[in-house]
Amino acid sequence: MRMLLKNSKRLIDNGELERCDVLIEEGKIIEIAPSITVDEHIERVIECDGKIVTPGFIDVHIHLREPGGEHKETILTGTRAAARGGFTTVCAMPNTNPVPDHEETINHLLDKINQDAVIRVMPYASLTKGLKGEELVDLEQLGKLQIFAFTDDGVGIQTADTMYRAMQLASKSGKAVVAHCEDNSIVYSGVVHDGEVSKRLNLPGIPSLSESVQIARDVLLAEATGCHYHVCHVSTKESVRVIRDAKAAGIHVTAEVTPHHLILNEESIISENTDFKMNPPLRSIEDQEALVEGLLDGTIDFIATDHAPHSEAEKSEGMLKAPFGIVGLETAFPLLYTNLVKNGTITLKQLVDWLTIKPANVFNLPFGRLEENAVADLTLIDIEQETTIDKYTFKSKGRNTPFHNWNVVGRPILTIYEGKVVYEEENYCPIVN
């Protein structure tokens, strides 16, 4: 099938926009030009009316919950949410039941993804059996399967020996070790950042040190093993400093940051609202500023949502008992565009790069590119339309967001995955034929 995006605009290297048409055939971009003539061989024409076309977004850190947590999210609902958010590639974390820690469970998961996903899903395998942080999985064997990388996300690897051996094996397999960094010995059962908000609400706090000390340990292990070590959801200024120093030393370390840690800080928590409970927690204003600076200077490589859906019943249990996490796939672009691009903190080109080409380059993925002969994963964005975030319209099963009723500008209106429209905002992007 031949499809033509007519009268769109694309970002060029200097950040300017140029008008272009994009011709797609058999899941590939076959031509990009200022104007492409419509002929009888083009079966579908989409009039873009000057909207911006970008590569499909990539999110290397989401939770789809299936198998075992289908009341929170499924592969189908999670990927529909991703498509609505402009994402065409997502990487699913392994905190499911059963855990993808051996060949049988991984192959079963891959079969379910092939059956239900509306976009590309690349699953992680766990680093340790059952995510218990003790016995390593067979990294050599699992590294040969269609997995993205290894991680025990949600649980920090507590002993240096376990992480050291994992990195040695992962390095041989060519897969990255992706780490949720948290030293449990100094978490102290905290539920928010150990700072102003924990004192004001009289809640146990999570010290920044619990994250940064484990990163400091791990970058030295990565140096010793030559492993690609990737840090999940960086949240503290000390972590940024450690990663910056490690990169300067030539260690193969990369890092991500979430939209909520860029946009919110501990002062955003006014009351015991569990939609503000996430791990790592919202930190201080100084931490928030360091994260933005880290993105701008390249210490932090890109943005990932850590989309973590939970049921309303689970989130209603109060700050001490409710699970950590918020959803993020459907709100990422409009929130970042409104709060960081519109105020001049970052450019639109930087934002798009952090959602596309940057994660693709870090993990050597053949996606995230708007160029001829590339896979036709595309997102069409309206950067002018104002809207209000309404959690009750989410495609995700999760409603746990602190951004409900926020007014935003800009949102994806059309998502194409491998040449097929997988999301289209109703009555907004008319199909000419």
Question: Token digits for 23?
Answer: 């011709």
Domain with residue 271: its CATH number is 3.20.20.140
Question: Over 282-320, what HEC string results?
Answer: CCCHHHHHHHHHHHHHCCCCEECCCECCCCHHHHCCCCC
Distance between CA 205 and CA 198 in Å, rounded? Answer: 6
Residue 430 has pLDDT above 70, yes or no: no
> What string of DSSP letters covers 384-424?
EEEEE--GGG-SSS----TTTT-EEEEEEEEEEETTEEEEE
240 sits in which H/E element:
helix 237-248
User: Is residue 302 included in any domain, yes or no?
Assistant: yes
User: Is residue 93 included in any domain, yes or no?
Assistant: yes
Distance between CA 423 and CA 355 in Å, rounded? Answer: 18
Domain check: are 36 and 129 in the same one? no
Distance between CA 342 and CA 407 in Å, rounded? Answer: 13
Angle at 366 between CA 364 and CA 368, to 5 degrees: 100
User: Is residue 113 included in any domain, yes or no?
Assistant: yes
Distance between CA 238 and CA 343 in Å, rounded? Answer: 26
Q: DSSP state, 338?
A: I
Distance between CA 333 and CA 345 in Å, rounded? Answer: 15
Q: What is the pLDDT of residue 32?
A: 98
Domain check: are 297 and 339 in the same one? yes
User: Is residue 409 included in any domain, yes or no?
Assistant: yes
Distance between CA 433 and CA 429 in Å, rounded? Answer: 12
Domain with residue 412: its CATH number is 2.30.40.10
Enzyme catalytic residues:
306
What would the pLDDT profile of 332-360 be if each residue is shown by its tens digit? 999 999 999 999 999 999 999 999 999 99
Task: Decide: 430 and 418 in contact? Cβ < 8 Å.
Answer: no
Across the range 103-116, mean pLDDT stands at 98
Task: Decide: 339 and 332 in contact? Cβ < 8 Å.
Answer: no
Burial class (CB in 10 A: 0-12, 13-18, 19+), 361: middle
Q: 433 pLDDT band (50/70/90 cuts)?
A: low
Q: What is the pLDDT of residue 258?
A: 98
Single out the residue of 328, 338, 326 nearest to residue 269, CA to CA.
Answer: 326
What would the pLDDT profile of 243-292 be if each residue is shown by its tens digit? 999 999 999 999 999 999 999 999 999 999 999 999 999 999 999 999 99
Asked which of 338, 362, 386 is the last residue of a domain, the reply is: 362
Domain check: are 110 and 33 in the same one? no
Domain check: are 340 and 328 in the same one? yes
What would the pLDDT profile of 356-382 be if each residue is shown by its tens digit? 999 999 999 999 999 999 999 999 999
Residue 432 has pLDDT above 70, yes or no: no
Give the three-class secondary structure for 64. Answer: coil
Domain check: are 278 and 326 in the same one? yes
Q: What is the pLDDT of residue 1?
A: 86
Domain check: are 407 and 301 in the same one? no
Angle at 268 between CA 264 and CA 272, to 5 degrees: 125
Domain check: are 79 and 204 in the same one? yes
Q: What is the pLDDT of residue 428?
A: 62
Across the range 214-223, mean pLDDT stands at 98
Distance between CA 349 and CA 351 in Å, rounded? Answer: 5
Asked which of 362, 392, 414 is the last residue of a domain, the reply is: 362
What would the pLDDT profile of 4-38 be if each residue is shown by its tens digit? 999 999 999 999 999 999 999 999 999 999 999 99
User: Is residue 369 included in any domain, yes or no?
Assistant: no
Q: How many other CB atoms sit within 10 Å of the CB of residue 242? A: 26
Task: Decide: 309 and 72 in contact? Cβ < 8 Å.
Answer: yes
Q: 154 pLDDT band (50/70/90 cuts)?
A: confident
Q: Which amino acid is at 166?
A: A
User: Is residue 343 included in any domain, yes or no?
Assistant: yes
Domain check: are 207 and 231 in the same one? yes
Q: What is the pLDDT of residue 78?
A: 98
What would the pLDDT profile of 122-143 be if each residue is shown by its tens digit? 999 999 999 999 999 999 999 9
Question: Token digits for 3?
Answer: 């499809």
Query: Cα dist. 10→133, 151, 259, 333 in Å?
Result: 45, 35, 23, 16
Domain check: are 171 and 319 in the same one? yes
Domain check: are 292 and 356 in the same one? yes
Single out the residue of 419, 346, 412, 368 nearest to residue 15, CA to CA.
Answer: 346
Task: Decide: 191 and 204 in contact? Cβ < 8 Å.
Answer: yes
Domain that holds residue 197: 56-362
Cα-to-chain-centroid distance, residue 348: 18
Residue 427 has pLDDT above 70, yes or no: no
Q: Which amino acid is at 45?
A: V
Phi, psi of 219 (to 5 degrees): -65, -30
> What string of DSSP letters covers 97-119?
SS-S-SHHHHHHHHHHHHHH-SS
What would the pLDDT profile of 301-329 be if each residue is shown by its tens digit? 999 999 999 999 999 999 999 999 999 99
Domain check: are 339 and 196 in the same one? yes
What would the pLDDT profile of 155-196 be if each residue is shown by its tens digit? 999 999 999 999 999 999 999 999 999 999 999 999 999 999
Q: Which amino acid is at 388?
A: T
User: Is residue 433 included in any domain, yes or no?
Assistant: no
User: Is residue 370 included in any domain, yes or no?
Assistant: no
Distance between CA 85 and CA 380 in Å, rounded? Answer: 11
Query: How many structural domains comprise the chain?
Result: 2
Domain check: are 236 and 141 in the same one? yes
DSSP E strands, 79-179: 87-92, 120-123, 150-151, 177-179
Q: Which amino acid is at 382?
A: D
Cα-to-chain-centroid distance, residue 213: 24
